[in-house]
Amino acid sequence: TAHLLAADVQQLLHNKFVVILGDSVQRAVYKDLVLLLQKDLLLTPTQLKAKGEESFERDKLVDGGQRGPMHNGIQYREVRQFCSDHHLVRFYFLTRVYSSYLEAILQELQSSQHGPPDVIIMNSCLWDLSRYGPDSWKSYLENLESLFERLGQVLPESCLLVWNTAMPVGKKITAGFLPPEHRPEDSSLRDKVIAANFHSSVEAKKHGFDVLDLHFHFRHAGRHLQRDGVHWDELAHRHLSQLLLAHVADAWGVDLPRRDPVGPWIWDGPARTGPGRGVERQPQASPDQPSMPPAGYRPLLPLPHLPPPPPPLLPLPPHPRPFPFHPVMTRFLFGPRDHFSASDHPFQSDQFSSNHFHSDVPSPTQTGFSFEDDPQPPRPPFPTPYLQRAPVVHRGFPRHLPRGPYVPWGRRPRSSKRQAPSHPQPRPQ
């Protein structure tokens, strides 16, 4: 299973323009990606809850947010951007999947001095289904069709669009975007989200766009759902980033490094919503000074491979056979143990099975997150006369003009399924 560190993500997205569109869950997707582009740390609970702040991990608030009125209405706006020497990531807050505001965003992206985006990551669902009156379901289906038809008209084939299905929601929803009078007393919104994911996936695939089924991947990860029933914790979002980046790499034909997971992003334990949460996180960075890990922080970087210990001296059997060599597991540096220390809960690799990065329909054998003990198949013994070096990661590919399909080092990217537009431009509703 690919497990990407900050250096890997920097190389994969080298000279790339990434745009993320959506609600507060997608804003957390943006934040985790911005953080992972700079350091191997997790988001703090404060960073996850914050909205509209002037700066987050060296990014900038471009429009809306604290520059205007802070509210939970459908007219709320927030545009953020992280820009470094070789990376550009932008976020637009949406309350509706297709509208005149979305049209304005597309026009802005078309006229951008940076050129059209290389990747667009998008989802809009909960606001559409709960904040636009009794005809919200019908409007959502119509807007989905208008959205993907419009995207097929304005986006170049070199732009990879990934539609994220909406994440699962809890039985009881108390998130701020949903006023008490709009909160359902039953599980009707949960059922609507599942139906909406089906229709949006069908519509996206019909127009040749990618679908990443996050609802499938997180359907058994309820321990990492926040108390408001909508948002997710920092471990879930780091796993989401890994799934998303693996999908992008697979679409571009990039071979990712294969390494053991660095830390237990998800573990089978109590819900981490109260005091005593185990993993320390870095404090919020100021705009002018990068954040530093606190004292005793548990780094997420692996140590170099160590030589195997000498085998014990045992009497030889009548017919001697060579002792099988067992490769040494990578050691990781951890800080002081606490109640929910990562070292207390060994990570099961099948919890993060991400072997269907861009498949349209999950296979029957996939289980998303797994919280049961599922031992890995035994590895055949093999001799290792030398120490294994760290895996080599191919550097990200710079843009080429004229823009066209990516031609990576290893294998060719999969061909685009998009067709030339044949319908007139729809009008926002």
The pLDDT tens digits of the residues spanning 67-118 come to: 999 999 999 999 999 999 999 999 999 999 999 999 999 999 999 999 999 9
User: Which pLDDT value is given to residue 363?
Assistant: 44
Least confident of 181-185, 231-235, 307-311, 322-326: 322-326
Least confident of 141-150, 199-208, 312-321, 350-359: 350-359
Residue 317 to residues 68, 383, 423, Cα–Cα distance (Å): 80, 21, 79
User: Which pLDDT value is given to residue 411?
Assistant: 58
User: Which pLDDT value is given to residue 400?
Assistant: 34
Give yes or no for a contact between 126 and 193, defined as CB atoms under 8 angstroms apart.
yes
pLDDT, tens only, 323-362: 333 433 333 333 333 433 333 333 333 443 333 334 444 4
> How sure is the predictor about 310, in pLDDT bands with cuts at 50, 70 and 90?
low
* Residue 370, C-beta contacts closer than 8 angstroms, at least 6 positions apart: 220, 348, 350, 351, 353
Mean pLDDT value across residues 157-175: 94
Tell me: pLDDT of 260 over 90: no
User: Which pLDDT value is given to residue 186?
Assistant: 63
Mean pLDDT value across residues 313-332: 42
> How sure is the predictor about 263, in pLDDT bands with cuts at 50, 70 and 90?
very low
Report how far residue 182's alpha carbon sits from residue 188's, in angstroms, rounded to the nearest whole number: 12
- The pLDDT mean for the chain works out to 74
Residue 284 to residues 47, 51, 219, 296, 339, Cα–Cα distance (Å): 7, 14, 31, 17, 24
Mean pLDDT value across residues 26-44: 98
Least confident of 5-14, 123-132, 352-361: 352-361
Give me the residue label for tokens 């599922």: 374
Tell me: pLDDT of 243 over 80: yes
> How sure is the predictor about 187, in pLDDT bands with cuts at 50, 70 and 90?
confident
Mean pLDDT value across residues 377-406: 38
CATH of 6-260+390-394, one of 3.40.50.10490, 3.40.50.1110, 3.40.309.10, 1.20.140.10: 3.40.50.1110
Residue 145 to residues 110, 149, 202, 203, 216, Cα–Cα distance (Å): 21, 6, 10, 6, 23
